[in-house]
């Protein structure tokens, strides 16, 4: 561990992050919403804190080790979550407590989209823009993390994607590869955002809402500038655009990179994870639509509209709403919510356990049943036509095991804080899968639950976003040994 | 598949099973409780049905193949569950419907212990005895299944125990090994039952209750002759005896065999699964006792008494009660109920996923975290001092995967039938883990839930008892090919 190096990096990071306070300043000046001061102070705090971290360590230059990588990754979200909370505390509206502000800030940066705020429609434009921007920046971070860092660290089977990572791969050191890859990915990310915003604007949103919602869409974040979320616009065109970009953003960004560089869409279709993902979505939409129509929860047209939007929003772990899926009849809330555990594809801004891991887990189950009949046959697990190395499957299972143990621990914590069973289970699920809305008391909003529960759920968001291992590895004694 | 052979075996089985109707006949004559006729008719039905299955196939002799093994194992429980239901339908008290009678009968035979009957204290003695006897017979079947059959079929990693199975092992054919092993195991099982019954009797139960409860204890069944279950006796001595025999019955019966043959108790302590199991129990009792005492749910002494009995009863998947753990404060119902997912040791009458599988899953999780820091190190997973073959770990994970998929499918079924989330989740958990009592609407009794739900839960009991694979393997097309 190079703590001095870490300090230098975090200092630089904070100083760069302080720039994120400036667009809201501009917006507060345009709309005269009174937010200028809060963002000004927050800017100063970030710059000063960044400088204090950076200055003593400024001449310290070393390559990042893998251990440093884990630590910096965790600190990236933790420190930004903390300093990102300032405007939400300093502004009179919403004027959140420290707990609430940290929860909201981390929920933004981890692209979870769980909110403690009600009355969004009445908030200053600068605050609204800032929340959306937090998600967008968080999404950027995740793309780099998921495409460039996790495969290299080999977390939970993600070494599977090592060879496919764009950018120079032969180099064994972290820094140059990340910089190179990051540029290409951010370019794609930015293009998607612009396309999405233009789409929303053409479909009828005003410029402010179009930009704000495009941020939350490509980041698979789910924050909105309205309490009614996407339902506010009541527009089938907007919903379709949203569905399209939610799905696109839940694809592996390596595929976007590949398709863009080689000018062909065939790579999406050739990818087994993407196909499996689309298959699950299609199946879930059909089941949900049929059930909604037959139970007459909505009119027939509306049933399909709600089914499509609701399923895609939850399955991609975006969490936008045009209605409240948690009040759908019978088994639908459970079924739809369960899709968030599968989540988006690896290397996307989506949360959950990732489609590829689910696919491997499913194939392993099938293989074991076959093996009972053919005990001596060698049955490789294949994704596409390539056999998956045992090492990867072991890692996926290790991930799964730790995921479940962590989940149960967090759920017990919430139950101790006083939440009921359904709320506790779904709140952990909604946060660890970076989905946002849950069931029961947290179907719409996290404002009413107790403070200890909010801290536990903050931990859940962070654990989920960093694929759990990145956090847990810091707790084993080996990590801190020389 | 040799259907004729299967028919012969099931015919013989049914004719033997018909003998199970005779002790209740004797008891109904002693107590003059009016059950004689019902059991007489049931006896006749069993004998006749058995004869019809056996007679045409009586000259057909072939060795059982592995496929036949799967089929016969499933049919064993299914056919006995069906024919075992007759007395419960035919008797005026309780005079159950077909659905209820099948549920109750299968719940007995699978040692689940979920009951649809209330007013146990007023039922005829013959019926009460019969229910307990179903559990005892089911427990016998499981011991043979778990110690002799599953390791050979290699279900869910149970090949780990192949070398340790008592009896002649070199032989590759099913029949002689099973017969040999079965005799030794039943001897142990019978001895434990007698010891337990004598213990209960000395501690103050009458002879009838002592025998009945000893059946349900060593079978880890949990049926009782009283609505208040073990709470009826309100005796610390009886509870301690019960705790002791629940734990003993949740140990691997191979260890009992080994200890008995070699005259030493060291084998229990040397077994890593047993140690892990006792460790979990101790930890859970301490946490539960402390929480009950601090929340003042009971007096201090009663807190520890309830913690010890409740934790052991649920963790071993017995399901006896001296109080209602589902109404314990805060996180306790969830925590205690979760222990049933771990369940008893492999090769015991206990349900759940089995301690050894949990241990391996946990070790795999730890290994993956270590591997992040030492990516090139070879880190074997060891149980005791022996490294576990990769093949076994893969099989355990396959089991886990199929278990979860099955669980979610069953839960969706229950939600469709109209149950609420907590009831649906805990009912599946209570039945697939062969525990018995759940949470919510099924905390004490399954009588009030709808009929489709009862059929789904019957499937859950059967799937759980047969380690899921034994059932699912019949649904893959390969199975039925020549
Ligand atoms: K989200
Ligand atoms: K039981």
Kindly state the average pLDDT of the residues B330-358.
Answer: 92
Kindly state the average pLDDT of the residues B93-111.
Answer: 94
CA of B115 to the centre of ligand 2 (A): 11
CA of B19 to the centre of ligand 2 (A): 24
Contact of B165 with B254, CB cutoff 8 Å:
yes
Query: For A307-321, A451-465, B1-15, B445-459, which range has the lowest pLDDT when averaged over its residues?
Result: B1-15
Q: Is B118 left (phi over 0), alpha (psi -120 to 50) or beta?
A: beta
DSSP string, A13-80: HHHHHHGGGHHHHHHHHHHT-S-HHHHHHHHHHHHHHHHHHHGGGTT---PPPHHHHHHHHHHHHHHH
Say yes or no for a CB contact (<8 Å) between A401 and B361.
yes
Q: Where is B141: in which H helix or E strand? A: helix B125-144
Say yes or no for a CB contact (<8 Å) between B371 and A398.
yes
| Ligand in closest contact with the CA of B340 | 2
Vertex A388 angle, CA A387 and A393, to 5°: 150
When pLDDT is cut at 50, 70 and 90, the band that residue B176 belongs to is low
**CA distances in angstroms from B270 to A130, B167, B259, B274, listed in the order given:** 60, 21, 11, 8
Kindly state the average pLDDT of the residues B429-456.
Answer: 93
Give chain A's count of helices (H) and strands (E): 21, 2
pLDDT value at A241 more than 50: yes
How long is chain A?
482
Kindly state the average pLDDT of the residues A154-160.
Answer: 73
CA B324 vs. chain centroid, Å, equals 21
Distance CA(A440)–CA(A418), nearest Å, equals 13
Q: What 3-state class would DSSP assign to B278?
A: helix
pLDDT at residue B35, as a whole number: 87
pLDDT at residue A249, as a whole number: 95
Which residues of chain B lie closer than 8 angstroms to A474, CB-CB?
none
> Which DSSP category does B264 fall into?
-
Q: Is A124 left (phi over 0), alpha (psi -120 to 50) or beta?
A: beta
Average model confidence (pLDDT) across chain B: 88
pLDDT value at B164 more than 50: no
pLDDT at residue B47, as a whole number: 94
Vertex B262 angle, CA B257 and B265, to 5°: 75
Which residues of chain B lie closer than 8 angstroms to A362, CB-CB?
401, 405
Distance CA(B22)–CA(B129), nearest Å, equals 11
**CA distances in angstroms from A296 to A278, A330, A332, listed in the order given:** 26, 12, 13
Q: Is A45 left (phi over 0), alpha (psi -120 to 50) or beta?
A: alpha
pLDDT value at A105 more than 70: yes
Chain A, nearest residue to B414 by Cα: A331
CA of A242 to the centre of ligand 1 (A): 13
Kindly state the average pLDDT of the residues A245-262.
Answer: 90
Measured between alpha carbons, how far apart are the two ends of chain A, in Å? Answer: 8
Say yes or no for a CB contact (<8 Å) between A405 and B370.
no
Distance CA(A132)–CA(A212), nearest Å, equals 6
Say yes or no for a CB contact (<8 Å) between A395 and B473.
no
Number of Cβ pairs < 8 A linking chain A and chain B: 140
**B160 or A409, higher pLDDT:** A409
Say yes or no for a CB contact (<8 Å) between A478 and B399.
no
Rg (CA), chain B: 22
pLDDT value at B145 more than 90: no
List residues, by chain if needed, whose CB lies under 5 Å from ion ligand 2. Answer: B 113, 222, 317, 319, 436
Which residues on neighbouring strands pair with residue A382, listed in sequence order?
A: A387
Which residues of chain B lie closer than 8 angstroms to A476, CB-CB?
369-370, 373
| Ligand in closest contact with the CA of A318 | 1
Backbone angles phi, psi at A275, to 5 degrees: -65, -45
**Residue carrying structure tokens 């369960």:** A338
Which residues of chain B lie closer than 8 angstroms to A67, CB-CB?
373
Structure tokens at A24: 């809201």
pLDDT value at A164 more than 70: no
- Tens of pLDDT, residues B240-280: 999 999 999 999 988 898 888 888 888 898 899 999 999 99
How long is chain B?
482
Query: For A282-296, B159-173, B367-381, which range has the lowest pLDDT when averaged over its residues?
Result: B159-173
DSSP string, B359-420: HHHHHHHHHHHHHHHSTT-----EETTEEPPHHHHHHHHHHHHHHHHHHHHHHHHHHHHT--
Distance CA(B378)–CA(B99), nearest Å, equals 54
* Residue A353 Cα, gap to closest chain B Cα (Å): 14
When pLDDT is cut at 50, 70 and 90, the band that residue A413 belongs to is very high
Q: Is B347 left (phi over 0), alpha (psi -120 to 50) or beta?
A: left
> Which DSSP category does A146 fall into?
I
| Ligand in closest contact with the CA of B351 | 2
Distance CA(B38)–CA(B127), nearest Å, equals 10
pLDDT at residue A196, as a whole number: 97
Q: Is B434 left (phi over 0), alpha (psi -120 to 50) or beta?
A: left
pLDDT at residue B402, as a whole number: 87
Q: Closest Cα to residue B73, out of B164, B174, B159, B163?
A: B174
Percent of chain A with pLDDT over 70: 96
pLDDT at residue B393, as a whole number: 85
- Tens of pLDDT, residues A414-438: 999 999 999 999 999 999 999 999 9
CA of A437 to the centre of ligand 1 (A): 8
Interface predicted TM-score (ipTM) of this complex, two decimals: 0.86
pLDDT value at A172 more than 80: no
Whether omega for the bond prior to residue A94 falls within 30 degrees of 0, making it cis, is: yes
- Tens of pLDDT, residues A332-352: 999 999 999 999 999 899 999
Kindly state the average pLDDT of the residues B92-120.
Answer: 93
**A74 or A178, higher pLDDT:** A74
Kindly state the average pLDDT of the residues B386-395.
Answer: 85
Which residues of chain A lie closer than 8 angstroms to B155, CB-CB?
372
């Amino acid at each position: 561990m190079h703590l001095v190096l870490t300090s230098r990096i975090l200092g630089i990071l904070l100083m760069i992050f302080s720039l994120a306070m400036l667009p809201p300043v501009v917006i507060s000046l345009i709309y005269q919403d009174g937010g200028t001061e809060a963002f000004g102070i927050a800017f100063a705090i970030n710059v000063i804190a960044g400088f204090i971290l950076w200055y003593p360590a400024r001449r310290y230059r070393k390559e990042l080790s893998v251990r440093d990588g884990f630590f910096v990754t965790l600190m990236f979200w933790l420190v930004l979550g903390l300093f990102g909370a300032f405007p939400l505390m300093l502004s009179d509206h919403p004027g959140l407590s420290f707990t609430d502000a940290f929860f909201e800030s981390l929920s933004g940066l981890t692209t979870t989209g769980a909110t403690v705020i009600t009355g969004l429609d009445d908030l200053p434009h600068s605050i609204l823009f800032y929340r959306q921007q937090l998600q967008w920046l968080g999404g950027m971070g995740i793309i780099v993390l998921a495409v460039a860092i996790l495969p290299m660290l080999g977390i939970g089977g993600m070494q599977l994607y090592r060879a496919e990572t764009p950018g120079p791969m032969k180099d064994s050191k972290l820094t140059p590869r990340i910089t190179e890859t990051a540029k290409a990915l951010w370019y794609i990310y930015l293009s998607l955002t612009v396309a999405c915003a233009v789409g929303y604007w053409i479909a009828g949103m005003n410029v402010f809402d179009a930009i704000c919602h495009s941020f939350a869409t490509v980041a698979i974040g789910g924050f909105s500038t309205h309490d009614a979320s996407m339902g506010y616009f009541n527009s089938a065109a907007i919903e379709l655009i949203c569905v399209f970009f939610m799905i696109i953003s839940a694809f592996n960004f390596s595929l976007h990179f590949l398709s863009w560089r080689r000018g062909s869409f065939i790579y999406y279709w050739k990818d087994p994870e993407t196909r499996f993902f689309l298959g699950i979505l299609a199946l879930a939409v059909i089941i949900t639509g049929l059930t909604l129509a037959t139970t007459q929860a909505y009119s027939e047209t509306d049933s399909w509209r709600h089914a499509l939007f609701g399923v895609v929003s939850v399955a991609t772990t975006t969490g936008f709403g045009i209605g409240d899926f948690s009040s759908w009849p019978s088994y639908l809330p459970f079924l739809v919510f369960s899709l968030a555990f599968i989540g988006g594809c690896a290397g996307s801004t989506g949360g959950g356990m990732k489609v590829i891991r689910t696919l491997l887990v499913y194939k392993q189950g099938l293989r074991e049943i076959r093996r009972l009949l053919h005990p001596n046959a060698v049955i490789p697990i294949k994704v596409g036509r390539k056999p998956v190395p045992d090492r990867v499957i072991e890692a996926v299972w290790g991930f799964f095991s730790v995921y479940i143990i962590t989940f149960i621990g967090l759920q017990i914590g919430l139950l101790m804080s006083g939440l009921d069973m359904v709320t506790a289970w779904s709140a952990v699920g909604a946060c660890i899968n970076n989905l946002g809305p849950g069931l029961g008391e947290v179907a719409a909003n996290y404002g009413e639950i107790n403070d200890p529960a909010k801290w536990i759920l903050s931990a859940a968001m962070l654990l989920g976003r960093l694929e759990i291992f990145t956090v847990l590895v810091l707790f084993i004694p080996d990590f801190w040994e020389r």
